[in-house]
Chains A and B, each alone.
Chain A
Amino acid sequence: MKCMFCDSVATVHLTDIVNKKKREAHLCEKCARDRDLLPEQAGQAIDLKALVNLMMAPEPPVQIAPATTVPVTLNCPRCGLTYAAFKGEGRFGCAHDYEAFRSILEPLLERVHRGTKHTGKLPAGARVAARSARIAELRTEMAAAIGTEDYEQAARLRDLIREMEAAQ
């Protein structure tokens, strides 16, 4: 058989099936190389596997959340958005929808983002609130440490609290 591009003998035979339609190509080695159908000498072609591995590495495996049954009556008491409307448009109507639709939202977020908890920037107000909450937590821990007469731990917590309060 002759190469479909030149008169040399075809040594590369390709078959591909797209949408149930079969296509065949017969080429000589040179023409196949020219069209990037054969791997070139090492180093030039993209090492796809290495690329994927490099970029996939830090990612946790995808977890597909189990399908949940959605109550038909699910809607937002504030803006009146119904589940059907949300499903149709893919958009929420107001900030309260995040609470009203929480049951279907969390599996959705897990699928889209592989996460359900914000770990980035906080608005200034939330930053202060988060710090106050952390200080309150430390105070409880300190009280518990005093209760168990672990004074060393209590002193460490006291210093930490002072440090955090000073930074405010």
Chain B
Amino acid sequence: MNLDTLLPNLGEWLRGTGPESDVVVSTRIRLARNLADYPFTGRATPAQKTEIVSKVKDAIARVELPFKLDYHDVPSMSVLDRQFLVERQLISRELAAVLEGPRGVAFDVKESASIMVNEEDHLRLQVLRSGFALDDAWADIDKLDDALESRLAYAFHAQFGYLTACPTNVGTGLRGSVMLHLPALGLTKQIDKVFRALQKINLAVRGLHGEGSRAFGDLYQISNQVTLGKSEQKILGEIKEVILTILQYERQARAVLMKERKQAEQDRVARALGTLGSATMITAEETMELLSVVRLGIHLRLIEDVPATAVNQLFIQTQAAHLQKLVGHALDGEERNAARAKYLKARLRDLGSHR
């Protein structure tokens, strides 16, 4: 599969549909697994890592799955392609740029399932779903895990469960994370209160690109930190309960906005569209902030002629690696800002929303 064929697609997590998609962008579950009889990736020799890759590739080729997984070797991949896969949430920044030696990723054409090989753990399974779909995502990843386990011997301990390189992942090896768009809680300055409450119950809040990344465009990922001592169902159930509460608060805050300052919101959305459609230089951050305003405007029905999926399209296509692929050559920072503005202007003109 040539990665460029993915370019026009939105990928599963940006499909913009699914349950509660006015607030929940996407749901992701990952499982950390290691093969028995090999040191963890950090202490494995290049030869051992090669063996691990070939065992996993072999297992993937032999198991029955509802989708076909294609394996992509990371070391032989260009820096641009690696960044492209990071932007599409198929690999981590670590697998792309920090880790060394034989490693790669297998994913399906819909981009709903991926398996990173020789990340911090030998295997990082991931399932992505559009909207709020923890149960569906769990059903899928549970099956994928069973299928791989029928071909691969996992490192498992009767007391500690699935063994992982980092003890913070041991046990279930499960991280469930839900990406939320919370512009109204941000506007009404209630977001920090929510997050302080979350931290008290051991749920983590992260920005778009996971650990250590800033929250741009009012997008937040909420995930569990505890992986040991609770069953998968219990962990996911706790996330679910909290997300439902936050959903309610965000919707309440949106209702208040509409009641008390509809005119001002209408103006903000129109100005955001105006800037996106007429700027000649624009950074990725500013684009995300403005698209967040537009997205909110769509869900509040303040604008009718821009579909939600168009916002997601603009959101992904204006990220650095996507933009360079669209243009067809490498761009430095300034050139990217100009190319981004040009792309936005053209796309919004096509949508007929920029008057």
Question: Would you call A19 an interface residue if the criterion is a C-beta within 8 Å of the partner chain's C-beta atoms?
Answer: no
Question: Would you call A54 an interface residue if the criterion is a C-beta within 8 Å of the partner chain's C-beta atoms?
Answer: yes
Q: Which residues of A contact B231 (CB under 8 A)?
A: 119-121
Residue from the set A115, A120, A124 with the largest chain B CB neighbour count within 10 Å: A120
Q: Cβ of B149 and Cβ of A124 under 8 Å apart? A: yes
Question: Would you call A30 an interface residue if the criterion is a C-beta within 8 Å of the partner chain's C-beta atoms?
Answer: no
- Known contacts A91-B166, A120-B161; decide if A113 and B229 are in contact (CB<8 Å): yes
Question: Would you call A46 an interface residue if the criterion is a C-beta within 8 Å of the partner chain's C-beta atoms?
Answer: yes
Question: Would you call B163 an interface residue if the criterion is a C-beta within 8 Å of the partner chain's C-beta atoms?
Answer: yes
Q: Which residues of A contact B163 (CB under 8 A)?
A: 92, 95, 98
Question: Would you call B150 an interface residue if the criterion is a C-beta within 8 Å of the partner chain's C-beta atoms?
Answer: yes
Q: Cβ of B146 and Cβ of A120 under 8 Å apart? A: no
Question: Would you call A18 an interface residue if the criterion is a C-beta within 8 Å of the partner chain's C-beta atoms?
Answer: no
Q: Cβ of A46 and Cβ of B170 under 8 Å apart? A: no
Q: Give the CA-CA distance A52 to B149 in the complex, in Å.
A: 39
Which chain B residues in 34-68 approach chain A with CB under 8 Å? Answer: 34, 36, 38-40, 42-43
Q: Cβ of B201 and Cβ of A121 under 8 Å apart? A: no
Q: Which residues of B contact A121 (CB under 8 A)?
A: 142, 145, 172, 231-232
Question: Would you call A105 an interface residue if the criterion is a C-beta within 8 Å of the partner chain's C-beta atoms?
Answer: yes
Interface of A, helix, strand, loop or mixed by DSSP: loop
Q: Which residues of A contact B256 (CB under 8 A)?
A: 44
Q: Give the CA-CA distance A85 to B39 in the complex, in Å.
A: 15
Q: Cβ of B168 and Cβ of A112 under 8 Å apart? A: yes
Q: Cβ of B226 and Cβ of A95 under 8 Å apart? A: no
Question: Would you call A24 an interface residue if the criterion is a C-beta within 8 Å of the partner chain's C-beta atoms?
Answer: no
Q: Cβ of B159 and Cβ of A118 under 8 Å apart? A: yes
Q: Cβ of A108 and Cβ of B167 under 8 Å apart? A: yes
Which chain A residues in 98-145 approach chain B with CB under 8 Å? Answer: 98, 105, 108-109, 112-126
Interfacial residues, chain B to chain A (CB-CB below 8 A): 34, 36, 38-40, 42-43, 120, 142, 145-146, 149-150, 154-168, 170-172, 174, 188-190, 193-194, 196-198, 200-202, 225-232, 235, 238, 241-242, 245, 249, 252, 256
Interfacial residues, chain A to chain B (CB-CB below 8 A): 36, 44-46, 48, 51-52, 54-56, 58-59, 78-79, 81, 89-95, 98, 105, 108-109, 112-126
